[in-house]
Amino acid sequence: MRAAAADDPGLFVVGRRPVFIDEYQHVPEVLDSIKAELNLDGSPVQFVITGSTRFDSLPLAAQSLTGRLHRIEIHPLSQGETGDSRENLLESLFADASTVVTPQASATTRAEYANLIARGGFPPAQERTDSSRARWFDDYLALCLERDLLELGRVRQPGVLAPLLTRLAAQTAQILNMSQAGADIGLAANTTTDYVKLFESSFLVRLLPGWGKTLRASVASRLDRSLGLI
């Protein structure tokens, strides 16, 4: 199927609208065919393209569809969604922000918080037992590190990807020092930065910029980024 799409990408973008194309990043040439279709008819919502890597990680030669594309990053299930309850944080903040944070201690125990974190938000993993879910995550990470990341970029030392990801996981929600993180496993700082970008591209890691009260502080804080989510 991939070879057929690469051989004739125009064939894969015709049909009743909207046309859905999954894992489009494996054949970026379909974006050129989509642009050609949009040049003939620029009506919105003609195509829905989905992929398991970030759009900005595509080769520079790939069509960007500037001005024609809306990007939506879909996160894993939230705690409200996994618990089958409606979340109203934004509404509460606008209505009365003082009700969002109260002096009352949380009824959730430390062990329960740890279980929620380990459970994650991937839909396929939610209904599994603890042991089955652990195996699912192990397989998911193994395939990402052994296959997906190697397709995304040039990896000269694939054997260090797993140790680096483990090193980052141990530093979640802390200030990330790229040089130190790489040095701990024998990697140069620039190589560490490149590999962390690959992790970001495959949604294994999210880097959160620091916060500041002024524009200057906000910009400067981006130099010291926090490791937010794995």
How far apart (Å, rounded) are the C-alpha atoms in residues 207 and 196? 9
**pLDDT value, residue 30:** 92
Q: What percent of the chain has pLDDT over 90?
A: 40
pLDDT category of residue 214 using cuts at 50, 70 and 90 = low
Residue range(s) in the chain whose domain bears CATH number 1.10.10? 107-229
pLDDT category of residue 117 using cuts at 50, 70 and 90 = confident
Q: What percent of the chain has pLDDT over 70?
A: 90
102 vs 15, which has greater pLDDT? Answer: 15
Average pLDDT over residues 15-34: 91
How far apart (Å, rounded) are the C-alpha atoms in residues 214 and 19? 44
> Is the confidence at residue 58, as pLDDT, over 90?
no
**pLDDT value, residue 85:** 85
Scored b (16 or more CB within 10 A) or e, 136-175 reads ebeebbeebbeebbeebeebeeeebbeebbebbeebeeee
pLDDT in tens, 124-160: 998 899 999 999 999 999 999 988 888 777 788 999 9
**pLDDT value, residue 187:** 93
The lowest-confidence range among 109-113, 123-127, 205-209, 214-218 is: 214-218
What tokens does 90 get? 């934004």
Average pLDDT over residues 58-68: 77
**pLDDT value, residue 38:** 92
pLDDT in tens, 162-173: 999 999 998 888
Question: How many residues are there in the chain?
Answer: 230
- Mean per-residue pLDDT over the chain, rounded: 85
What tokens does 155 get? 């990896």
> Is the confidence at residue 52, as pLDDT, over 90?
no
Average pLDDT over residues 183-195: 92
Q: Are 24 and 5 in contact (CB under 8 A)?
A: no
Average pLDDT over residues 175-196: 91
**pLDDT value, residue 230:** 38
Q: From 1.10.620, 3.90.930, 2.60.120, 1.10.10, which CATH number describes the 107-229 domain? A: 1.10.10
